[in-house]
Structure 1
Amino acid sequence: MSELILRAATPADIPALSKLGIDSFVATFGHMYSAKDLADFLEEAHSHNALAGELADPARLYCLAEQDGALAGYCKLGLTCGFPDHARGQNVLELKQLYTAAGMTGMGIGKALMDWAMAEFTARGADEVQLSVWSGNHGAQKFYARYGFAKVADIKFRVGEQLDDEFLFARLM
């Protein structure tokens, strides 16, 4: 395999971002939802139109990980506080998504993207970083704990009409 390349996302990346986001979400969580709830959520969060709006939003920052010319993963940051009711800092930023392509978990892609995210948070003066993680995703929870994140609250995540139990993890910087 060739070297992993990290770079900013552009509008030309929308089709690949949409496909990776949909494929990753469906593979991990698709079994949990009705067909309608899943379709509505995927349209809202991973459609080309949704991603075009996200890429144009100055409060969002995307980093892509490419390997052998293909999208291997991506990370999305929120440059505003996503959960103000639980904020402990004054400049609270959010890790909104960190996805890897199917079959590429455990290959260092998540680590490279997380290292990039943590450097961005530091460079932007964050004094706290928040993220939400599904209560049943123990692997992701362990991954984030290695970076100093810990559970600070129980929250809900909506997919269509369904509300999932999630954990709000945070780390003071």
Structure 2
Amino acid sequence: MTTPLIRPARPGDALALSTLGRVTFVETFVEGFGIPYPPADLVPFLDAAFGEETTTASLADPAGAWWVAEVDGAVAAFATTGPNTLPHPDARPTHAELKRLYVAKAAQGLGLGTKLLAVALDWMDHNGDGAQWIGVWSGNLKAQKLYAAYGFDKAGEYEYPVGSWRDHEFILRRG
């Protein structure tokens, strides 16, 4: 295995990012945490959230940023940031939000998530004008512990829609 490479995402990464997002969501939430999403909710959600067209448009949005971690030339993890969209009374669109930090199951334990988080936080430090925000599933204690180590505290809760299913999420804030 070569040393992982962290780099900004490119338009040509859209298919790899879409595929990795879809697979990692299922590996993490369906297989890992056992959330019983009804297929009628999960399939359209995955298509909308991780469709190649959606990812291509997001990559082209100058308000946000994406990074990938490559292992042996393949995209193994990614992080994406942008203007805050979390439903908290103190949150503003001019604040920065970590939208997703996904690491493929096969690449976990390589430190990719921590490296991507550091790059994303640096971007957030320079591209937001207030607090920094993260939404995290209430049952993902490992992610909550990681974010707490970087100064994020629980600031609220909300329901994240996966079709008509609702995931109970925590809103974390730093600053």
TM-score (norm 1): 0.92
Identity of matched residues, %: 38
1:168 to 2:168 alignment? no
Matched, 1:44 2:37: no
Deviations 1:20-43 (A, max 9, x none): 101100011134201121101101
How many angstroms does 1:60 deviate by?
2.2
Residue number in structure 1 paired with 2:139? 136
Aligned AA (1:166): E
2 CA distance for matches of 1:90 and 1:96? 13
Task: State the match for 2:3 in structure 1.
Answer: 3
1:104 to 104, 107, 116: 107
- 1:96 deviates by 0.3
**Once the 2 structures are TM-superposed, how far is the Cα of residue 89 of structure 1 from its aligned partner?**
7.2
- Structure 1 stretches of 4+ with a deviation exceeding 6 A read none
Q: CA offsets per residue over residues 124-166 of structure 1, 9 Å max, x none?
A: 2543110100011111111111111110001110000111110
Amino acid aligned to 1:60: G
TM-score (normalizing by structure 2): 0.91
Q: CA deviation at 1:88?
A: 5.8
1:29 aligns with 2:32: no
Give the distance between the partners of 1:114 and 1:62, measured in 2 at CA. 11
1:13 aligns with 2:13: yes
Asked if the contact 1:86–1:153 (Cα under 8 Å) also holds between the matched residues in 2, the reply is: no
Q: Structure 2 vs 1, CA of residues 24 and 63 (structure 1 numbering), >3 Å: closer, same or farther?
A: same
Q: What SS class does the counterpart of residue 2 from structure 1 fall into? A: coil
* Residues 38 and 125 of structure 1: CA distance in aligned 2, closer, same or farther (over 3 Å): closer
Distance 1:84 1:68, change over 3 A: same
Unaligned runs of at least 5 residues, structure 2? none
Corresponding residue for residue 95 of structure 2: 92
Say whether 1:153 aligns with 2:156.
yes
